[in-house]
């Protein structure tokens, strides 16, 4: 895992992209290592929250353009395999039953912005810029468009995807792309404090089921989403987490999840 630093402490896994010399650009090796690390963290019963961050001054500049140029000479199947690998990574993050937080301390551009788009929550420094610049080099923001339209609606998604413009952290916050803005000297502590709070105050089972419902409901009719909600509601009531939570509340006991 030479392109990734992976660590666990207090039920928080930290996945740190470590390719600063290439502005943390995404290539097959990095995508593969990210996928392996996320799978490891998601499968680990000792991990409750996952933080994604990056070394250097840029969170990620997106796809490695030298590699993309090589792919122009490759077969359709080679290109398909490369795209499918990134799709699987995005889906792995988006569908994770565990809370995933992006800690963005530099620009997140194109595929790099795609990475944070599929995370549950995003913390960023005020200086960070965000954008999907693919159309400016004759490419398209294909994969991320499927997720971005869910996140902020068609109007805002079109504004960003069709222009390729970069936006400030404040604009990204107002658009709903990021959740919190913290100064550079506070973001490390701020993210860890937030993650620790969620580790200790919310049920992992409840988080997983709520994420499942939120994801599925967007593809269902109102009646279908309500039926799913009913089933998940019933399922949750009989869970050990719910039994513990209600018992602690009624007995006025502090519950540490």
* Lowest-pLDDT choice from 115-119, 120-124, 148-152: 148-152
- 66 catalytic? Reply is no
Q: Is the pTM of this model over 0.85?
A: yes
In the predicted structure, residue 71 carries a pLDDT above the cut 70: no
Q: Check whether 220 has a pLDDT greater than 90.
A: no
Please tell me the predicted confidence (pLDDT) of residue 12: 98
Write the CB contacts of 77 (distance below 8 Å, at least 6 apart in sequence). Answer: none
Mean pLDDT over 210-227 rounds to 88
pLDDT tens-digit map of 177-195 = 999 999 999 999 999 999 9
53 sits in which H/E element: strand 49-54
- Annotated catalytic residue, options 57, 66, 95, 134: 134
Residue 221: what pLDDT? 87
The residues, ordered by sequence, that sit 6+ positions from 89 with a Cβ below 8 Å of its Cβ are 31, 34, 35, 38
**Which pLDDT value is given to residue 196?**
97
The DSSP result for 156-206, as a single string, is HHHHHHHH---EEHHHHHHHTS-SEE--TTTHHHHHHHHHHHHHHHS-HHH
- Does the pLDDT value for residue 91 go beyond 70? yes
């Amino acid at each position: 895992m030479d392109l990734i630093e992976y660590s666990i402490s207090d039920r928080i896994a930290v996945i740190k992209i470590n390719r600063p010399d290439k502005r943390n650009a995404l290539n097959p090796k990095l995508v593969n290592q990210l996928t392996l690390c996320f799978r490891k963290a998601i499968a680990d019963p000792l991990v409750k929250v996952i933080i994604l961050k990056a070394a250097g001054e840029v969170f990620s500049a997106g796809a490695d353009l030298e590699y993309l140029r090589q792919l122009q000479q490759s077969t359709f199947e080679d290109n398909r395999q490369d795209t499918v690998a990134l799709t699987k990574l995005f889906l792995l993050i988006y569908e994770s039953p565990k809370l995933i937080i992006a800690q963005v301390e530099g620009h997140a551009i194109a595929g790099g912005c795609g990475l944070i788009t599929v995370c549950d929550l995003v913390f960023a420094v005020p200086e960070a810029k965000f954008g999907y610049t693919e159309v400016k080099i004759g490419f398209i923001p294909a994969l991320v468009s499927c997720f971005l339209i869910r996140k902020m609606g068609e109007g805002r998604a079109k504004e960003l995807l069709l222009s390729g413009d970069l936006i400030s952290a404040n604009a990204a916050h107002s658009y709903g792309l990021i959740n919190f803005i913290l100064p550079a000297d506070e973001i490390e502590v701020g993210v860890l404090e937030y993650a620790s709070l969620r580790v200790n105050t919310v049920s992992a089972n409840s988080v997983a089921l709520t994420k499942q419902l939120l994801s599925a409901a967007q593809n269902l009719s109102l009646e279908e989403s309500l039926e799913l909600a009913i089933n998940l509601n019933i399922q949750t009531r009989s869970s050990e987490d719910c039994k513990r939570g209600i018992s602690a509340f009624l007995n006025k006991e502090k519950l540490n999840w």
